[in-house]
Structure 1
Amino acid sequence: MDLGTHGQSDDELRSALTRLVKQLVQDEPNAARRGDDLLPILDAHLGVAADELAVVVEPIMIHRWADTDIALEAIVARDPAARLLGVGGGDQRHHSSLSDLMANAEWGRFRSGQVDRLNVATGPDTERATVAFGLHLFHHEGAPMVVVQRVGNPEYGSQARLEVLATDPEVVTAMLAELREESMRRSVLWRQVISFSTNPYERSMSGLTFHRRPDLPASNVVLPTGTLEQVRAHVVGLAQHRELLRDKGQHLKRGVLLYGPPGTGKTHTVRHLVSAASDTTVVLMSGTEMAHVGTAAQIARAHQPAVVVIEDCDLIAEDRDHHFGGGASPLLFTLLDAMDGLDQDADVVFLLTTNRAEALEKALTQRPGRVDLAVEIPLPEEADRRTLIRLYAAELAFSSVAISRAARESAGTTASYAKELVRRAVLLAAMAGREPSDEHLAAATEELLADSSRLTRALLGSNDDSGETSAD
């Protein structure tokens, strides 16, 4: 046998098999395939064999995806010759890292294609079409660079990240450092009101929902004389003197606790404070969202001045002696760590509310530097009840006499009761086909104060055992 001929036959067979395998693994027949092979494009841009370079991976927190997209676009735009390519090749491309894409390049499976886009919210009324999967080819500080930007998809087991390829590792380090700085400077979270709720009917971004800042003037908040001024001075007024306090070595980080029975206006007061702090980043937390308290503190630290609102904080900050099964809630320690982890000069307010101040963990309420101001929001006195009814009935023609009578007869009730009282009066008038009048307000009062409405009053936060007395 001619060994040379035999060796040549092996080479030909191997080449034929390679061509066959390449043809089989291609997503489309060769004649119908679109786009160009990716690896030669990368090689040409970098000036070296791209698959011989190390890939640097930069994980991105998903709620910072819009910030990253904005910052990367700004950096890439400095190179007028920059290119943005998509990646074709079916769903398998989502499972593949940049190294995998290059390793599979010889089979012709992955080619240039359309850029994947993902719309994300950037505010309560705005959104941005970000790059969900694409390759940026550009020069940074004169050096060629490739950045793969992918938002990730849990369905494919991938996470949001950037993958960077360049011939000079120092340029990669410098670019990523600049990217982080630009991401913070251009962050869409500045001066926004956000929560960790996921609402398909509101503008959300990867687990964050943007809310319109409420417009609630002080005239619409009815509290005992001096109470609102005291709270507002600590939350809003103190921030107006932040530089002086810093210069004098005084701390800015502060905690404010609003406590009192349900329905007395704690949440209403919070809404006013959020409205008044228009230059402040606000993170709202309640219920299951409290699991994100650590992330909320990080956002507040990075976007100060900031306010972290934790409503019904006793859900996580209950005294460990009261906690079911003994011991403290794990989220209590997360909250304490979040409050303690901020620098003293951080302009961050933790604004807490609770209906059960007596049940709060002493480590939260009695340790200096955590809660600096605790303010009771009590049941309204008769004069405040009159004001509340007038406020909720501002567009109705109730007489002063009728309003005073309704306020006098509703001892021990809350602001929520006053709001429901006016609503009931309007409803009674509507059912009778008439305009709301004093008789409807009186009828609503009688209905709500009847023994059969005791549970309703309790649900509105009212205290039927109030010992308040009023002169006729």
Structure 2
Amino acid sequence: MAESGGVEIVSSDEYRARYGAEREPSPLSLDQVSELFNEFLMAVARPGRKDAEGRRNLSRRLRDHLGSDPSRWPVVKAAYPPYDLPNVHLALERWFAEDGRTHELIGMVGARHHGDLTLGDIIESADRYDRFVIGAVDYAHLPVAPDAELACVSCGFYLGAEGDERFAVLLRGPADEYGRNKVEIEVLAREKEFADGLLARIDTLVREHNIFRGQVLSFEGSEFGHGLGPFRFHPRPGLTREDIVLPAGLLERVERQVVGVARRREQLRAAGQHLRRGLLLYGPPGTGKTHTIRYLLSHLPQFTVVILAGTSIQAIGPACALARMLQPALVVLEDCDLIAEARDYGGGEQPLLFQVLNEMDGLGDDADVAFLLTTNRADLLEPALVQRPGRVDLAVEIPLPDAEGRARLLDLYGSGLGLGGQVVTEVVARTEGTTASFTKELVRRAVLIAAERESPRTDPADVRTALDELLSDRDRLTRRLLGVRGEKDALKDDDEDDADDADDEGDEGDF
């Protein structure tokens, strides 16, 4: 037997000899033992942490404000998507700014790091374990426009008063690093009806003053891989018809399907016609599909636009929910061929494309929402679209520019250069089968060549030099990257070409 620090240490044999082999069961439950052990750990971890005057005591602060024990009051909670923190923050600010209401905003140390704990859990922990104490309010600076940010409360306690009513509101934003991928607002009030009414009013304000309404935005992934990060806001383009080079009548078809329905929505509704519409733009890369979309955005100033591309298309569910709430809206899905056979990241059994079509159908015919899909490979989308008729109402091919189109593109991208008719005719003749992207790069390279020789103007010789470079064998890959496809630009050997031709002959259908 030995002693250490006043604690007697005995062997198991000596313990049985002294107290007997049979021991009485502990009168404490396992939960009580766990609580006592937690208290012990807290005391060891913070032995000198005392707040003699109780200034940081969260439980005492709540009792003083509410005039009662907060642990006996009901808590009502509402949750919002992670990107809605600015909307919820502003809704709370507006609600408290109404006549007859006051509030004090305080922060909490530790609350941000425990996303799984409810307000009730926090109150209990603050009261029993000193786990949460009053501290600084946490803020997150989030974009609310292309060139504007807003400091939003990401963790804060609003101690509110309305007449004789006392209550507390806890607002917590998403914290992916701690496993919380949502915005939570919890209300502690004497009567549940008061808390229900407060949350209902907040929800109304979120919808009425939504900062995303009328914006052009895209989803961004979270750096921690959980769900969605913040939105990226884009300036709305300002293109005119003179900025678009397409075959005669094509732009009018596209514009009528998207813009025309928006302008005639009331007449269509009165006639019992649906407003939801789907448009597919297909064609080779570099022909102007994205440019056409930018033109449409320029002529839909009141529309909320959500852009999804690549892996962000998996966010089609939240995108459609946002479009439904903020209609009239346009959902743009770029390069849909990339997800024609891709599965979602949740391990779903169906391709993402089918999920996109399901979400489109789930909006209902009366929703003033347009879907605009683009693809370089219509053949990959056709089987799915045929199985789900009605999701896409119009498919329009954006073809390679013809001779007239290539001349107009030279005039568009080379405006102000003073290119003569002779060089334009020569370029048009030598660029059959090229894309709008090719012409744009041709003009840029010609201007660069002129600048390299310190010339203030671009001469026809500069254009010819640039064209010779782009059409040379060494720029074969460059041409392909600009969307040019042709026998001279093929990177595969003859055997691979033959195999591709055989595959093409077996393809079913075409738009």
- TM-score using structure 1 length: 0.85
Q: Residues 157 and 416 (structure 1 numbering): CA distance in 2 closer, same or farther, change over 3 Å?
A: closer
Which residue is equivalent to 1:470? none
CA distance in 2: counterparts of 1:396 and 1:299, whole angstroms: 45
- For 1:46-195, what aligned pairs fall within 5 Å after superposition? 46-78=66-98, 79-88=100-109, 96-104=117-125, 105-139=127-161, 143-159=165-181, 160-195=183-218
**How far 1:385 moved relative to its partner?**
0.3
Deviations 1:307-343 (A, max 9, x none): 11111111223599xxxxxx98531221011110012
Q: Distance in 2 between matches of 1:92 and 1:208?
A: 23
What letter is aligned with 1:403?
A: V
Classify the secondary structure of the residue corresponding to 1:129: strand
Q: 1:396 to 1:443 in 2, by over 3 A?
A: same
1:15-30 matches, cutoff 5 A: 29-30=49-50
Shift of 1:25: 6.0
Q: Residue 460 of structure 2 aligns with which residue?
A: 438
TM-score between both structures, scaled by the size of structure 2: 0.79
- 1:176-225 alpha-carbon deviations (Å, 9 max, x no partner): 1221111111111101111113599xxxx943111111222221110001
Separation in 2, partners of 1:330, 1:107: 50
**Is 1:459 paired with 2:481?**
yes
3-state SS of 2:264 partner: helix
Q: In structure 2, which of residues 315, 324, 336 is the aligned counterpart of residue 292 of structure 1?
A: 315
> Is 1:404 the equivalent of 2:395?
no
Shift of 1:303: 0.9
Residue aligning to 1:11: none
For each residue in 1:84-142, what CA deviation from the matched residue of structure 2 results, as whole angstroms up to 9, or x when unmatched? 12224687677754223322324545333322211111111111111111111224586
Report what 1:314 is aligned to.
Answer: 337
Say which is worse superposed, 92-101 or 397-406, in terms of deviation: 92-101
The answer on whether the counterparts of 1:365 and 1:371 sit within 8 Å (CA) in structure 2 is: no
Residues 277 and 370 in structure 2, CA contact (< 8 A), matched pair in contact too: yes
Equivalent residue for 2:263?
Answer: 240
Give the drift of 1:44: 3.3
Structure-1 separation of matches of 2:161 and 2:416: 64
> Deviation at 1:439?
1.1
- Measure, in 2, the Cα distance between the counterparts of 1:356 and 1:293: 20
Which stretch has the larger CA shift, 106-115 or 423-432? 106-115
8 A Cα contact 2:75 2:192, kept in partner: no
| Letter of the 1:243 counterpart | E
Is the Cα–Cα contact under 8 Å of residues 138 and 146 in structure 1 kept in the other structure?
Answer: yes
Match 2:397 to one of 356, 366, 376: 376
Asked if residue 274 in structure 1 is aligned to residue 297 in structure 2, the reply is yes
- What is the RMSD of the two structures over their aligned residues, measured on CA atoms? 3.0
Cα offsets for 1:250-300 (capped at 9, x unmatched): 000000011111111111111111122111111111111111111111111
Structure 2: 5+ residue stretches without partners: 1-38, 489-511
Where 2:450 maps in the other structure, the secondary structure is helix
Q: How big is each residue's C-alpha offset from its partner over 1:22-55, in whole Å with a ceiling of 9 and x where there is no partner?
A: 8766586436888342223322333331112232
Could you list the structure 1 runs, at least 4 aligned residues long, displaced by more than 6 angstroms after superposition. 19-23, 31-34, 90-95
Distance 1:233 1:140, change over 3 A: farther
**SS of the counterpart of 1:215?**
coil
Write the distance in 2 (CA, Å) between the matches of 1:28 and 1:135. 26
Q: Distance in 1 between matches of 2:229 and 2:342?
A: 33
Cα 1:428–1:367 change in 2 (3 A) is same
Q: 1:269 to 1:49 in 2, by over 3 A?
A: same
SS state of the match for residue 148, structure 1? strand
Q: Please tell me whether residue 45 in structure 1 is matched to residue 68 in structure 2.
A: no
Report if aligned partners of 2:246, 2:401 keep a CA contact under 8 Å in 1: yes
Letter of the 1:349 partner, please give it: A
* Number of the residue aligned with 1:332: 353
For structure 1, the 5+ residue unaligned runs are: 1-18, 321-326, 467-472
- 1: CA distance, partners of 2:400 / 2:355: 32
Aligned-partner residue type, residue 248 of structure 1: A
Q: Structure 1 residues 331, 140: closer, same or farther in 2, change over 3 A?
A: farther
- State the alpha-carbon separation in 2 of the partners of residues 108 and 328 from structure 1: 48
Structure 2 letter corresponding to 1:334 = Q
